[in-house]
Amino acid sequence: MTGAPERTVSLTVNGTARAARTEVRTLLSDFLRHTLGLTGTHVGCEEGVCGSCTVLLDGEPVRACLMLAVQAEGRRVETVEGLAQNGELTALQRAFMSEHGLQCGFCTPGILMSLTAAERDGLPEEETATHVLAGHRCRCTGYNGIRAALTRSREGGSDEH
């Protein structure tokens, strides 16, 4: 266990250049959480099922628990901490609040990242709800509030419930 090979990983996280030394076996999820201190990315299963750890890699949603930090060398990573701009929540985040789209909040960051990518890619709401959301597990909401939040965000509003 001693002398595990290390390497410096340089990448862009939420628009900022970051570099840190890490064991080459470190998962991207652990690197973000424990090396860079970005604990908003959550680890629910470490086997690629639950989707809690989803981040955007060069704009594409990926499971941060299924890749090594060294594989993100030179890449652009976006995490949940980078969604709000100048302190303003995005329409999707506001919709989650209005529609009670989160309960314990553990799976939420991953879902926000996947839905954000789908919206940027212009994926229709229906396809997002069926195909993109299917890649996530939420144990609290029964998905009612999450689907409602998706609909509300696509309608462009986040008014009082």
Partner 1 sequence: MSTDHGDRAEADADADAGAEAVRPGLIGRALPRVHDARMLRGHGRYADDLDDGTALHAAVVRSPVPHGRVTRFDGTAAREGGAALVLGPDEIARHADPLPTVWRLPGQHQRDIEVATRTVRYVGQPLGLVVAASRAAAEDAAERVELSIDPLPPVVGVDAALAPGAPLLYPEAGTNVAGEVRFGDPADEIERAMAAAPHVVTRELTVQRVNAASMEPRGLLAEWIPHTERLTVWSSTQVPHPVRHGLATALRLRADQIQVLVPDLGGAFGSKTTLYVDEALVCLAARLLGGRVAWTEDRTEALTATYQGRGQTATARLALGHDGRFLALDAHVRGDLGAFSTQGGSGPFQITGQSLEGPYKLPLAGATVTCVHTNAAPTGAYRGYGMQESTWIRERLIAEAARELGLDADELRLRNLIAAEEMPYTVRTHMTYDTGDYPATFRAAADAVAEAPRERTGRVRRGVATVPSVEITGYGPTALLEMTGLEASGWESGRIRVNQDGTVTVFAGAVSMGQGIETTLTQIVADRLGVPMSLVAVRLGDTEATPHSEYSSQASRSLVLSGSALLRAGERLRERMDALAAAFLETTPEDVRLEELTFRADKTDRTATWREIAHRGWLGWGRPEHDRIQLEETVDFDPPDVTYAHASHAAAVAVDLDTGAVTVEGYWAVHDSGVLVNPLIAEGQTAGAVAQGLGLALLEEAAYDPVTARPLAASFWDYAIPAPPDVPEIRVSHTETPTPHNPGGFKGLGEGGTLPTAAAVVNAVADAVPEIAARLDRTPLTPYRVWTLLRDAGLADEGQEGTGERS
Rounded to the nearest whole angstrom, what is the least distance from the CB of residue 66 to partner 1 in the complex?
A: 13
Q: Does 93 bind partner 1 (CB under 8 A)?
A: yes
Question: Which residues is 57 bridged to in the sheet?
Answer: 60, 77
- Residue closer to partner 1 by CB (options 74, 84) is 84
Phi, psi angle pair for 61, to nearest 5°: -70, 130
* Binding string, residues 26-65; x marks residues near partner 1 by CB under 8 A: x------xx---xxxxxxxxxx-xx-x-------------
- Residue closer to partner 1 by CB (options 61, 145) is 145
Provide the binding-site residues for partner 1, judged by CB under 8 A: 1-2, 4, 23, 25-26, 33-34, 38-47, 49-50, 52, 79-81, 83-84, 87, 89, 93-94, 96-98, 100, 102-109, 112, 129-130, 133-134, 136-147, 158-161
